Amino acid sequence: MKSLEELKAIKAKMQDKVALRTSSGDIRIVVGMATCGIAAGARPVLNAFVEGVSEAGLGDTVTVTQTGCIGICQYEPVVEVYQKDKEKVTYVKMTAERAKEVLEKHIKGGSIVTEYTIGAAKI
Amino acid sequence: MDELSLYILDITMNSVRAGATEIQITLAEDGEWLDFTVTDNGCGMTEEQVKRLTDPFFTTRKTRKVGLGVPFLTMLAEMTGGYVTVKSVSEKVSENHGTTTHARFGRNHIDFIPLGDIAETVKTLIQGSPDINFTFTHTKPGGEVRLSCAELREELGDIPLNEPEILTWIGDYLNEQYEEISSI
């Protein structure tokens, strides 16, 4: 059974890592988490990004954050990727599987997954 | 939405956006009812705003003209023979401001939907707002599941609660407690 005591060990392990972190990340992944996003399935999308970033050890350069309604509810779950000196990329109708693909190809590989972007979406 | 835990996430987001620093989420189940309450110390609402809450065409947001959070919750609760009440004190009225939303669901009603992954909901809330003191309590006939961010912080000091290792721990901690009480 887990106890709060275990957190002491986690803290000791993490203290150096957190202190060493200099920037808040070069890439910011933002997931819309208003009623429209949640109803369309944003929770598993968010968690796929959080877990994927952690598993890939990208915590120092990539941050995953939540936002409210972006105003394009019909395209939810919507994910925006902000990267320094680059144009914002908006992914629409996301799923956990698509999130993994975006992590692999775009966040790690540097090439936008065009088929999931808002520009490619059928209106 | 096909899980109650998603409604809970959605409604609790209202407290987050109201600027709350303390949010209590309580679930209480007996044979007949499931009661869900969320209490916050956020900015609260005026009487007029509370009155219009169940109107889908009322929202304070600027990005769209509808607000479906409370109407969805009310629909689901009423479909199962339950109800929703919202009590709020606006920061314009008192220093003791905040909102309490209570929803009651008939557990045995055919339109009652499963609770779903409540641990994911708690993790998602903490991931998005690591500085808020969430307290989660779920009381079932077999026992109680509990998590307090303030208590976690006492152990962790200034390590943010939304570090992935911590979030994973939180999920495991909740799920273990659920397993414990279901085996009783």
pLDDT one-digit tens code per residue, A78-106: 999 999 889 999 999 999 999 999 999 99
Residues from B contacting A (CB-CB < 8 Å) are 1, 6, 9-10, 13, 17, 61, 63-64, 67-69, 72, 120-121, 123-124, 127-128, 151-152, 155-157, 159-160, 163-169, 172-173, 176, 180
- pTM higher than 0.90, yes or no? yes
* Dist CA B157 CA B114 (whole Å): 36
Which of B122, B173, B176 would you mutate first to test chain A, the one with the most A CBs within 10 A?
B173
* Dist CA A54 CA A25 (whole Å): 13
Using CB atoms, pick whichever of B10, B64, B159 lies closest to residue A71.
B64
Q: For position B158, what pLDDT does the model report?
A: 87
Domain B4-182, what fold? Heat Shock Protein 90 (3.30.565)
What is the CATH number assigned to the segment(s) A22-120?
3.40.30.10
More confident residue, B184 or A27: A27
- pLDDT digits 0-9 by tens, A7-23: 988 888 887 776 666 55
Residue B169 zone, left/alpha/beta (φ > 0; ψ -120 to 50; rest): alpha
In angstroms, the separation between the Cα of residue A99 and the nearest Cα of chain B is 16
Quick check: B156 and A47 CB within 8 A? no
Residue A57 φ/ψ, nearest 5 degrees: 65, 30
- pLDDT digits 0-9 by tens, B124-173: 999 999 999 999 999 999 999 999 999 999 999 989 999 988 999 999 99
Chain B CB contacts of A5 under 8 Å are 155
Q: For position A3, what pLDDT does the model report?
A: 84
* Dist CA A80 CA A72 (whole Å): 12
Tokens of residue B162, six digits: 């939304």
Based on C-alpha coordinates, what's the Rg of chain A? Answer: 16
**Structural domain boundaries of chain A?**
22-120
* Dist CA A48 CA A42 (whole Å): 10
Using CB atoms, pick whichever of A4, A50, A68 lies closest to residue B151.
A4
Quick check: B164 and A43 CB within 8 A? no
Tokens of residue A31, six digits: 């997931």
Residue B158 φ/ψ, nearest 5 degrees: -95, 10
Residue A50 zone, left/alpha/beta (φ > 0; ψ -120 to 50; rest): alpha
Residue B87 zone, left/alpha/beta (φ > 0; ψ -120 to 50; rest): beta
Quick check: B64 and A69 CB within 8 A? yes
Quick check: A18 and B167 CB within 8 A? no
Using CB atoms, pick whichever of A4, A13, A35 lies closest to residue B69.
A35
Q: Strand (E) positions, A8-77? A: 27-32, 62-67
For residues B73 and B56, is the Cβ–Cβ distance under 8 A? no
* Dist CA B168 CA B184 (whole Å): 25
Pairing of strands B98-106, B83-89: antiparallel
- With 0-12 / 13-18 / 19 or more C-beta atoms within 10 angstroms meaning exposed / middle / buried, residue A44 is middle
